[in-house]
Amino acid sequence: MGLNFDTESVTPALVCVECGHGMDRTSGPCAPGPGACALCFFCGSLNVFDADMRFRRPTDAEVFAVARDEDFQRARRAILEVQNYGTPKA
């Protein structure tokens, strides 16, 4: 398997549960549905779609499941690398 961001989906207005950034679309292997996990492009945090397709905080079980998912971890690292690009190294 590998990272797949081929499907861009327009969503209702979303707010990241960690950083508060707004967004209105996702990229992934398919359109998201309730219970789908999403990584915030701005901070790399895990968000989960609720039944109304709004973001909620993940449960502990969801956090552990994603921690074991190699593709999610690769995607998170890629997001954090992009966000840190250009930041002077200490």
Task: Indicate whether 26 belongs to the interface with Zn ion (CB under 5 A).
Answer: no
Q: How far is the CB of 41 from Zn ion (least distance, A)?
A: 8
CA distance 61 to 68: 11
Among 5, 8, 19, 74, which residue interacts with Zn ion (rule: CB under 5 A)? Answer: 19
Under a CB-based contact definition with an 8 Å cutoff, are residues 40 and 18 in contact?
A: yes
**One-letter amino acid identity for 29?**
P
3-state SS class at 18? coil
* Residues numbered 36-55 forming contacts with Zn ion, rule: CB under 5 A: 40, 42-43, 45
Task: Indicate whether 75 belongs to the interface with Zn ion (CB under 5 A).
Answer: no
The residues facing 28 across adjacent strands are 7
Binding site for Zn ion (CB under 5 A): 16, 18-19, 21, 40, 42-43, 45
